[in-house]
Amino acid sequence: MTTTTTVPVLVYDGDCGFCTTSVRYAERHLRPRCTITAWQFADLDALGVTERRALHEVLWITPAGVVHGGAQAVAKLLLSAGGPWSVAGAVLTLPPVRWLAHGVYRLVANNRHRMPGGTAACALPANGRPGQGR
C-alpha cells in the first residue's frame, strides 16, 4: 500500500443497493473503527487491490496493507466494532465456521441483486451498470 492510513479501510460496491444498505447498517449500528468507501471512489492502486477483486467481494485493508476479502472482511468489520459484535467476528475466523461463512458469503454475493435492497444493477458487470463508462 503506497498511502499511509492509521485505520483499516472497508471497500464495497457503491453501485450495489444491497451492499450500500448493508454498509449503512454497519455504520449506524456497529460503528466499526475503519474508513468505509465505495470502490468506485477509492484509490485502488494506492490500497493495493484491483478493480476485479473489488467487484468480486467486500475488502478489508489493514493499515499495513494486508487485504482480507469476503466473509473474512466481514469478520474483521465485526471485530473492529467491539462488544458482542467482536465475538461474532472472532467466530467467523475459526474453522470450520470460516469455511461455512465463505460459502454463505459467495451465495449472498452471487445473488445480491435478489436480496433486500438489491437492484438489477447489482447483477450487472461494472461496465454494464448505469453511469459506468468502463
Dump pLDDT digits (tens) for 125-134: 656 554 454 4
Quote the cell numbers at residue 73.
472482511
Measured CA to CA, the distance from residue 54 to residue 86 in angstroms comes to 24
How many other CB atoms are there within 10 angstroms of residue 91's CB atom? Answer: 13
How many other CB atoms are there within 10 angstroms of residue 25's CB atom? Answer: 11
Write out pLDDT tens, residues 20-62.
999 999 999 999 999 999 999 999 999 999 999 999 999 999 9
**Phi then psi dihedrals of residue 36, to 5 deg:** -115, 130
Quote the cell numbers at residue 126.
461494472
What pTM does this model have?
Answer: 0.85
Amino acid at 63: P
